[in-house]
């Protein structure tokens, strides 16, 4: 007897239903928190409208949000959503297109060179040498054109409004309010930048070699040393005479 294999019928997959959530509603222009009288009237109006709802607690909770939103939008209005404007893409010049094409060709030649034989590598190397110099000159010309264009735009902005142009060159002034007192500020600066042990004599560490006394003592130029003061006065007189010359 031949055994017939029973084939189960395959079930066709059900199409996936895409559920789209409703978009976010615009914000309501609710009054400020300080306007207590206005909020009292809002609360009384909402209580009256919510007390008129009929049905179970679940249905009341579902409708409560929509009722509050509709009331606020009708009485105070809603904020209009701002549509983001995409900046236009800058046009690509013919020189930039040529540079892009040469770069792609150079990459393709590099891939072919890796897979080519020794005889074919010589021809591919010649083509690579020809393509290598062309993008360099094109990039140099492109950078020169960009610098010239930037200079022209800067000159135009300066002639259009010199004061506004010069103002953009400087950093903006920083403004603020000092919330601490002057005594606290002085105490902080004193504790940060002062050294309470500045008058103490520091001992020489043992790892430093001994220091020999100076061979020549410098004379102190003060009123007690008459000879040095006279010498200093003579030097000042010579300087004044040289200035007159």
What are the pLDDT digits (tens) for 174-193?
777 778 888 888 888 888 88
Report the chain's C-alpha Rg in angstroms: 44
The verdict on pTM exceeding 0.85 is no
Q: Express each pLDDT in 118-165 by its tens digit.
A: 888 888 888 888 888 888 889 999 999 999 999 999 999 999 988 888
Spatial CB neighbours of 169, under 8 Å, sequence gap ≥ 6: none
Q: What pLDDT, on a 0 to 100 scale, did the predictor assign at position 220?
A: 54
223 pLDDT above the threshold of 70:
no
Say if CB 73 and CB 63 are below 8 A apart. no
Q: What pLDDT, on a 0 to 100 scale, did the predictor assign at position 151?
A: 93
Residue written as tokens 């000042």?
236
Q: Express each pLDDT in 32-81 by its tens digit.
A: 888 888 888 888 888 888 888 887 878 878 888 888 888 888 888 887 76
């Amino acid at each position: 007897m031949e055994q017939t294999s029973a084939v189960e019928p395959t079930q066709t997959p059900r199409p996936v239903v895409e559920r789209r959530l409703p978009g976010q509603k615009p914000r309501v222009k609710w009054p400020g928190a300080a306007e207590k009288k206005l909020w009292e009237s809002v609360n009384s109006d909402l209580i009256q409208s919510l007390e008129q709802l009929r049905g179970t607690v679940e249905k009341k909770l579902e409708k409560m949000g929509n009722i509050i939103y509709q009331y606020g939008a009708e009485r105070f209005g809603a904020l209009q959503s701002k549509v983001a404007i995409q900046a236009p893409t800058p046009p690509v010049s013919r020189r930039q297109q040529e540079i892009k094409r040469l770069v792609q060709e150079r990459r393709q030649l590099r891939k072919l060179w890796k897979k080519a034989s020794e005889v074919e590598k010589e021809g591919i190397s010649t083509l690579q040498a020809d393509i290598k110099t062309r993008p360099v000159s094109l990039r140099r010309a492109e950078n020169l054109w960009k610098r010239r264009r930037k200079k022209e735009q800067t000159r135009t902005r300066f002639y259009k409004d010199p004061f506004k142009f010069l103002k953009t060159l400087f950093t903006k002034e920083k403004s603020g309010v000092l919330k601490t007192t002057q005594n606290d500020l002085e105490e902080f600066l004193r504790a940060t930048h002062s050294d309470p042990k500045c008058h103490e004599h520091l001992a020489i560490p043992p790892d430093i070699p001994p220091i020999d006394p100076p061979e020549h003592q410098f004379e102190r130029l003060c009123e007690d040393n008459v000879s040095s003061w006279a010498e200093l006065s003579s030097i000042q007189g010579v300087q004044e005479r040289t200035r007159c010359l």
